[in-house]
Amino acid sequence: TECSRQDIPHSIISLLDGFKASKTLFTASKLKVFDVLNSSNSQTLEEVAGQINASVLGTERLLEAAVSLGLLERVKQQNTSVYRNTEQASRFLVSDSPESLNGYILHCNDMVWPLFSHLENAVREGTSQHERAFGKKNEEVFQDAYYSKDEVKIRFMDAMHSIARVTGKDVATAFELSSYKTACDIGGCTGAMAYEFTKAHPGLSVIVFDLPQVIEMRRHFQPKETDDRVSFVAGDFFKDDLPKADLYILARILHDWSDEKLHVLLSKLSKMCTPGCGLLVSEIFLDEERKRPSRALLQALSMTEGKQRSPTEYRDLLEKHGFTPKHIKHTDNLLDAMLFVKEDPNDKRT
């Protein structure tokens, strides 16, 4: 019997191959294929193989797969085939391009891929598989898993930096913020997001607050033109005093922690805020039925102690600490944003 076209389960078939496609992108990035092709416009297979120090056969299979995924192009030049980056690869995959995702891609390869290879255990046990994947227990995700080794720390910071540079402008311009003069980016990492905020808001200064191990690396990530409206303060947001500001930014912080832990941080923020102070939350917002986007739900499978939440869940969490939601923006970029304002506790009109 003939199978009608509609019977072919295209979406399942593409999921069957999804992991191979991801690993092709990761491997091409790790072997610096996009950087090599960026340095001279186009190269033959043998030239690429030589530069990435890999076998011709293996390089050929990798480059052909990358062409099929739209990451590279192969064209004829004087009777020989040459490879070159697609426009998208030049913009997002070359490691030193301003919007490079390279840092995040290497983090996915080196950190997330090993964790996901233990997904069965993660689901059975409901716990992070860090110990199985890396042979080391991690009590504290940042201090133990990411920051105990410099090489891993830089890779993680690079990953945060690359996402922040790609989404930062959309988050920074999501709302009218001209009434705020000083902001504090809580867990602001390399400062990439902070620089987008000062660029977008000429009257705003931003203090980046993060753990000492992160702040000590800040020079590694300074943009070419430094901005004296961005400053850095080291501390632990669960234990130490937070800098005073009239706008607090929480970008990709809340999803990492349980409600209980967040109540500690949010009650500190609430005490720091006078009525009218703002709190800007930037996360991937789940829809209210927790069906989409799958990017958020797939990320949750890494089983950190946090969770992905919908706008209503963020609202409920923050309202307990006197913050009222004012605006929400779905940016169509990697992160959405919600602006809360601290209410006057004596104001009963709410």
Binding site for ligand SAM (CB under 6 A): 142, 160, 163-164, 187-189, 193, 210-211, 214, 236-238, 251-253, 256
Q: CA Rg, the chain, in Å?
A: 23
Minimum separation from the CB atom of position 141 to ligand SAM (A): 8
Query: Contact at 8 Å (CB) between 281 and 254?
Result: yes
If the CB atoms of residues 45 and 265 are measured against ligand SAM, the closer one turns out to be: 265
Taking the least distance from each CB to ligand SAM, the nearer of 233 and 328 is: 233
In this structure, which amino acid lies at residue 128? S
The verdict on whether 255 is a catalytic residue reads: yes
Supply the minimum distance, in Å, between the C-beta of residue 121 and ligand SAM. 24
Q: Is 45 or 269 the residue whose CB approaches ligand SAM more closely?
A: 269
Q: List all residues 6 or more positions away from 54 whose beta carbon is below 8 Å from its beta carbon.
A: 31, 62
Classified as helix, coil or strand, 121 is: helix
Minimum Å gap between C-beta 296 and ligand SAM is: 13
Dihedral of the alpha carbons of 113, 334, 310, 349, in degrees to the nearest 10: 150
First to last CA, the chain: 66
The catalytically annotated residue of 107, 118, 161, 255 is 255
Give me the residue whose beta carbon is nearest to ligand SAM: 187
Q: Which residues of 94-133 are buried (b: 16+ CB within 10 A; e: fewer)?
A: bbebeebbbbbbbbbbbbbeebbebeeebeeeeebbbeeb
Question: Cis (ω within 30 of 0) for the bond into 243?
Answer: no
Q: Give me the least distance between CB of 212 and ligand SAM, in Å please.
A: 9
Residue nearer to ligand SAM on the CB measure, 51 or 306: 306
Instruction: CB nearer to ligand SAM: give 50 or 235.
Output: 235
Q: 12: exposed, middle or buried (C-beta count within 10 Å: 0-12, 13-18, 19+)?
A: exposed
CA 149 to mean position of chain CA atoms: 20
- Active-site positions? 255
